[in-house]
Amino acid sequence: MIKISIGEKSVFAELFAEQSPLSAQTLEAALPLTTKLRSHSNWSGRCSTFDLPGARELKSLESAVCSLYPGYLALRPDQGVVEIGYDAAELRSELGREYGSLVGRLIGDGVDDFLTYLDAMHYTEGDQILTITSANEETV
């Protein structure tokens, strides 16, 4: 489990270690991670994106998806990023539909508020600093 924070706003996420073991390991290996969360994906629609060190080293997809639903995370080895859906999105590039590995989902009581913030962030604050840490010791 990981904790994703933007300033004072935090949410937990479970990683799909059984479905996407290499993708989950790559995300966990980068922790703790502080990076820029781009407020809106240029091609994929209603999702935010952050760079993930080591993501481009993955050579295959696990639990491949092209649609990204609110609260789900997809790792894109081709782009070296993770996308967090805050509304319906589709993994895309300038070439058209793309695929990523479904790597996790947001969980807990604060998910709806967090997704609402991500959606509004695009229009009000722009890019933000994102911090991701291991949350194995914390309570959801």
Per-domain boundaries in the chain: 2-108
Phi, psi (5° rounding) for residue 112?
-60, -45
* pLDDT mean for each 10 residues of the chain (140 residues): 95 98 98 92 83 96 96 96 93 91 97 94 89 78
pLDDT of residue 122: 79
CA 134 to mean position of chain CA atoms: 15
Amino acid at the residue 62: E
Q: Full-prediction pTM beyond 0.75?
A: yes
For domain 2-108, the question of CATH label 1.10.3720.10 is answered with no
Determine the pLDDT at residue 19. 97
Fill in the DSSP letter of residue 55. Answer: G
Residue 12 backbone dihedrals phi, psi, to 5 degrees: -100, 155
